Structure 1
């Protein structure tokens, strides 16, 4: 801390002192980190780098000009320059394939992936030169990848056409999103549009505003004017016509440009999907030279919309890019322009990070995926050359004393370790079958040899190795009972599940079949396989089994006792753990258990049912035919029913199947899941369907189910609700509730 001339304390000279005093913060600016990354960073690019690293070429064209094949650095091209192909052909008179020996065993042989063998004639120094060239090429490819994934190229891809028309469809009413779109477009014009020849802009609105009537030449003045024009666009206050986007695209086709870039914000293009698609297809079909349409999706969190936009790009022979904000962090900074002598107010800036959301299909690779593929190919060639270099070392270091062309690189390594004094340089990468057998085995038929020495004989086939450590394939569907000791148990009934993976030696991650978003860590002792199932009619009287509890949509297995089979009937009388007795059909499947297991799981289930008493729940009120808040007062009847005091002070009874609360396992929400969600207007829970999920997963956009059969034409109500206040339900339960509420 320092003292200023006027005697007041100043903290500006010591950043650490700032943290020692109380401070407040003011709203700052929001910056997109991806747009602030500069492609001209001097720490990445040097003066020695070729200028074509920063060229505005699509990756396909760039690789065609400057890639591995253009530099004659593919593995095929290198093989042709460091050796020659060994000729082998079929000799008709002899009736067999014959080949020539080249200079005895002076030269090394290399076998290519396709089976061709090449005789290596160059020295190690030549191989070292190719390796150095490939390493330099790898560095250039990595710098090129950095260039095409920085700044506006991260969002829009590379604008490589000489003339372009941009169609901007931004119908948002949120000025913050509009500012993000404007900032992205301004960065695009500063970084890429300045490098093409002609351009135009159309902004989708009721008037479909155009920057110019026809594309204009790119100059410093026209680019600055375009940036000002984009900055002056405002959020729409009136409803935009559903045909506005189609009309804007038709105007773009009249601009006589090399390509159209359709930039769609959020769900702006959802108003008239089929109209838009039909107009694009018809216009392109009627054109002698169809213009490709490249689609850019900005800040869209609806997977269905992204799929539609991608289909537009594929239909119009264009590329597809999707970009949305993935994360946001607080960046506190000391402001430089505040009139605060103490300087203890911090500016609350926000730094945003985005992702390219949708991975393009393999038949339509984008610029980034093509560069990744080239980088992997280059690295693979370097690895193979290093392997060859290790094989053909300088003969001055390893003098030749005996040449054997029948052993491989691996046998060379092993031989050098065992017989270091022999210095025997092996010359061939091709293994002849005679090197694998001793004299006694040469005359054995293959079938006899495999019976003695084969994989099956050694118990090394895939299933033999996994037999003792894994579940059989047919047992992928299992019944899970409870969590292992030490894990917080929330459900002790037994739904069907699927084994996802082994967590450790005795525990498995199981995913519910009816609710795929719910996974549990289950001990192997509490997992029952499909192979354990048997028919109820095969069970003996007084035996024990897990049987599906009747009239329960959860289809959960509960411990039971087989009382006796009914004579002259296809049923069996069964008593469940809660003393509920039912006649069940003999043709249903059950899981046999012993008496100790019956007692153990019965105690667990009863303890679970008792633990619900006094808990606050959301439950179905049969009398009101609606889901209401309430409190469980007591366990009545067989134990599956509870006495509920509802929020309106009335009381009634309800089965646990219709009760939801803190004891309900939380599910990871998915699009089109059915849920119970609160309607703030009526302050009650209703059936709904998930339409979209926020990026952080904390909020859901849901559409409530209309149960009024007399008013089917009414528009379904939508709302945004916190995900933590909803309960995911199965399709079976949804159908059951629909039937109950409409009866």
Structure 2
């Protein structure tokens, strides 16, 4: 958690945890497991010089990006180490992305400064929306402001309202005090077209690192003009946060304002707002004994499309995709170093200790990566039979037939001018040296003698150890992430049915975690998907299968995060919903017991 959750920008976070910092980029890994096969022009010699001494001595790997060839010298243990490191990096990036797109970070972005003032412009918010804003801001105070040094709150109004005259140091007491002040604000407060600009100027008069402008709804035209005139050249950056803007022009304006004020921009649109019947939104005791965080309300929503892609999320997503691509290529190196390739890249043909390398061209053939293979297909490619490591395959060149008694022997014909076929003569043979060799029955039932040299044994042992590591690696991979619960999802159009009955109460957090991993690792590579939750009733996320895109994946994850346990288990209704969709290719049913309806 400490690695995932620091309040810093994604660019700074990646400087600490990115692939290059951890020396896990593809070029860095290749430089640690081999060396580049070069053909360079040497100016002193005035001609091309190639590293031919490496030809035929090492297995090779050709980078798809630029076609450069590397001679591989590392042991398999080192390559497996990089595979484990990349898997760990992928999990870390997934956790950072999930953290960035949840709770207060989804609503407000990430507070990156240590001393800030937040200007609250509630505009013409309706009472329900006003409460939603205060819930959201309470969450920001409890989750993020508690981790910085100083802060202040100013409400834009005709009569300016400040929580404190100057920025106050962050403590448990001051944060509680700010939340109470927030919830005592009157919804009906007079505002003018200059209130927002005046509040921002007042905020910038304090010695702070940044000002946050939290704008609810749309910004009037006359207010926009004043903000552009007064705020653009301020003494500190102004970060704008759009909350529930109705018009796209408002989002575009606030984004432009943050750019002119050297700040950052964030936008959030509420999807729905519901009050749980268990109690009020916030409980504030005058004696400071209890302060309940705003968990009794749930503010759900997403980034509006017009706001574009969040830069902080995009940077981590880009690093995540690079880590996945690098992992695939390192796994490919690991498999191809021992296996003949299937028509692409480089083929390695091994004869005991000597490796002969052949380069072949790619003719419109796509390699089916190991992660998309069923276990049956994987064994057909990497199993003992495929590698000719079964007992009979391994001993094929180490056996000779047991011969005892009358046998047929082919001899040269007496008259070669009239007969070309060999003549068969019968001869009595006595196996005098049978006791010198091991006797065993061959697969056809015949008796053979076996003689295994030391070199043959060592060669077979090395090959078998490598094969076992591959199998162990595959088993470990199948048990990791979403595959530990779902296995490999091979179909393109899938339904996931989630049991949310009362018996799932303790299991639901794990299910949510695995579904997040499923979205990140597998569903994003499919065509269409849908979720159905079921307890006494069954409810689908969408009416039909939804296209796989970033917006749908994010919306689906927000829906999954909001799942709560119900009562009974109506599995039949959930299955009926999934089967009613004619395009459904597969249904994945998550349940802990049999139906009770």
Distance in 1 between the 2:155 and 2:6 partners? 28
CA gap of 1:318–1:236, structure 2 versus 1, over 3 A, is same
Counterpart residue number, 2:441: none
Equivalent residue for 2:53, pick from 69, 83, 102: 102
Cα deviation, 1:18-77, whole Å, max 9, x if unaligned, reads xxxxxxxxxxxxxxxxxxxxxxxxxxxxxxxx6222222221111111221211111121
Corresponding residue number in structure 1 for 2:431: none
Give the 3 Å change call, closer, same or farther, for CA 97–359 of structure 1 in structure 2.
farther
Match of 1:473 in 2: none
Query: CA deviation digits over 1:630-672, x for unaligned, max 9?
Result: xxxxxxxxxxxxxxxxxxxxxxxxxxxxxxxxxxxxxxxxxxx
Quote the Cα distance in structure 2 between the aligned partners of 1:257 and 1:330.
36
Cα separation, 1, equivalents of 2:170 and 2:274:
37
Of the candidates 5, 13, 32, which is equivalent to residue 62 of structure 1? 13
Pairing 1:423-442 to 2, within 5 Å after superposition: none
Q: More displaced, 98-107 or 160-169?
A: 98-107
- Per the TM alignment, residue 161 of structure 1 is displaced from its structure 2 partner at its CA by 0.9
After TM superposition, give the deviation of residue 262 of structure 1 in Å: 0.7
1:222 matched residue in structure 2: 174
* Structure 1 segment 328-347 matched on structure 2, within 5 A: none
Q: Which residue of 1 aligns with 2:119?
A: 167
Q: How does 1:248-267 map to 2 (within 5 A)?
A: 248-267=199-218
**1:334–1:278: structure 2 CA closer, same or farther, 3 Å change rule?**
closer
Deviation at 1:100, TM superposition (A): 1.3
Q: CA RMSD in A?
A: 3.6
Once residues 237 and 261 of structure 1 are traced to their aligned partners in structure 2, the CA distance between those partners, rounded to angstroms, is: 21
Q: Within 1, Cα distance between the matches of 2:278 and 2:166?
A: 47
What are the within-5 Å matches in structure 2 for residues 363-378 of structure 1? 366-378=311-323
1:241 aligns with 2:241: no
Shift in Å, 1:405: 2.4
Q: Is the 8 A contact 1:391 1:409 kept in 2?
A: no
**Residue of structure 2 in register with 1:393 after alignment:** 338
Matched, 1:355 2:302: yes
Secondary structure of residue in 2 paired with 1:235: coil
Residue number among 261, 273, 297 corresponding to 2:242 in the alignment: 297
* CA distance 1:154–1:385, shift in 2 (3 Å): same
2 CA distance for matches of 1:89 and 1:254?
61
After superposition, give the CA deviation of every residue in 1:464-515 in whole Å (9 maximum; x if it has no partner): xxxxxxxxxxxxxxxxxxxxxxxxxxxxxxxxxxxxxxxxxxxxxxxxxxxx
Aligned-pair CA distance for 1:313? 1.4
Distance 2:111 2:248 in 1: 25
Give the secondary-structure state (helix, strand or coil) at the position aligned to 1:325: strand
| Aligned CA distance change for structure 1 residues 255 and 330 (closer, same or farther; 3 Å) | closer
Q: Quick check: 1:172–1:235 contact (8 Å CA) kept in 2?
A: no
- Superposed CA deviations along residues 542-590 of structure 1, whole A, max 9, x for unmatched, are xxxxxxxxxxxxxxxxxxxxxxxxxxxxxxxxxxxxxxxxxxxxxxxxx
Question: Is the contact made by 1:173 and 1:236 (CA closer than 8 Å) also made in structure 2?
Answer: no
Structure 1 residues 119 and 76: CA distance shift in structure 2, 3 A: same
Work out the CA distance in 2 between the residues paired with 1:221 and 1:335: 23
Aligned-partner SS, 1:252: helix
Shift of 1:233: 1.1
Distance 1:328 1:265, change over 3 A: closer
Aligned with 2:4: secondary structure?
helix
Conservation of the 8 A alpha-carbon contact between 2:93 and 2:316: yes
Structure 1 or 2: more strand by fraction: 1
Post-superposition shift, 1:175? 1.2
Match of 2:131 in 1: 179
Question: For the Cα contact (< 8 Å) 1:201–1:210, is it kept in 2?
Answer: yes
Aligned length: 352
- Alpha-carbon distance between aligned partners in 1 of 2:172 and 2:26, rounded to the nearest angstrom: 46
- 1:565-620 CA distance string (max 9 Å, x none): xxxxxxxxxxxxxxxxxxxxxxxxxxxxxxxxxxxxxxxxxxxxxxxxxxxxxxxx
Q: Deviations over 1:503-539 (max 9, x none)?
A: xxxxxxxxxxxxxxxxxxxxxxxxxxxxxxxxxxxxx
1:199 counterpart residue number? 151
Deviation at 1:224, TM superposition (A): 0.9
Partner of 1:213: 165
Superposition deviation, residue 400 in structure 1: 3.6
- Alignment-derived partner of residue 21 in structure 1: none
1:141 is aligned to 93
- Which residue does the alignment assign to 2:358? 406
Q: Deviations over 1:400-456 (max 9, x none)?
A: 476432324979999x99x98899x9xxxxxxxxxxxxxxxxxxxxxxxxxxxxxxx
Q: Does 1:114 align with 2:59?
A: no
Higher relative contact order (CA 8 A, sep 6+): 2
Alignment of 1:682-693 (within 5 A): none
Segments of 5+ residues of structure 1 without an aligned counterpart are 1-49, 337-348, 426-743
**SS of match in other structure, 1:114:** coil
Q: Match for residue 3 of structure 2?
A: 52
* Structure 2 partner of 1:635: none
1:79 is aligned to 2:30:
yes
- Tell me, yes or no, if the aligned pair for 2:118 and 2:154 is still in contact at 8 Å: yes
TM-score (norm 1): 0.43
> Would the aligned equivalents of 2:141 and 2:179 in 1 still touch at CA under 8 Å?
yes
Give me the whole-angstrom Cα distance separating, in 1, the residues matched to 2:84 and 2:244: 43
Q: Is the 8 A contact 1:206 1:241 kept in 2?
A: yes
Q: Aligned in 2, Cα 1:329/1:177: closer, same or farther, shift over 3 Å?
A: closer
Change in Cα spacing, 1:111 to 1:360, as seen in structure 2 (3 Å) is farther
Separation in 1, partners of 2:220, 2:27 = 47
- Take 2:131 and 2:307, find their aligned partners in 1: how far apart are those partners? 27
Q: TM-score, normalised by structure 2?
A: 0.54
Asked whether the equivalents of residues 349 and 357 of structure 2 are also in contact (C-alpha less than 8 Å), the reply is no
Say if 2:252 and 2:306, in contact at 8 Å, map to a contact too. Answer: no
Question: How far 1:165 moved relative to its partner?
Answer: 0.7
8 Å contact kept, 2:135–2:297: no
Go from structure 1 to structure 2 and tell me whether the alpha carbon gap of 1:335 and 1:316 turns closer, same or farther (over 3 Å shift). closer
Residue correspondence of structure 1 range 196-595 to structure 2 within 5 A: 196-238=148-190, 240-268=191-219, 270-282=221-233, 284=234, 287=235, 291-327=236-272, 353-358=300-305, 360=307, 366-393=311-338, 399-400=351-352, 403-408=355-360
Mapped to 2, the partners of 1:373 and 1:216 lie a distance apart of 38
| Alpha-carbon separation, structure 2, partners of 1:144 and 1:199 | 25
For the residues of structure 2 that align with 1:361 and 1:175, how far apart are their CA atoms?
29
Structure 2 SS opposite 1:51: coil
Q: CA deviation at 1:210?
A: 1.2
Shift of 1:268: 3.9
Q: Is the 8 A contact 1:167 1:252 kept in 2?
A: yes
Matches of 1:160 and 1:167, distance apart in 2: 16
1:117 CA displacement: 2.6
Distance 1:82 1:219 in 2: 51
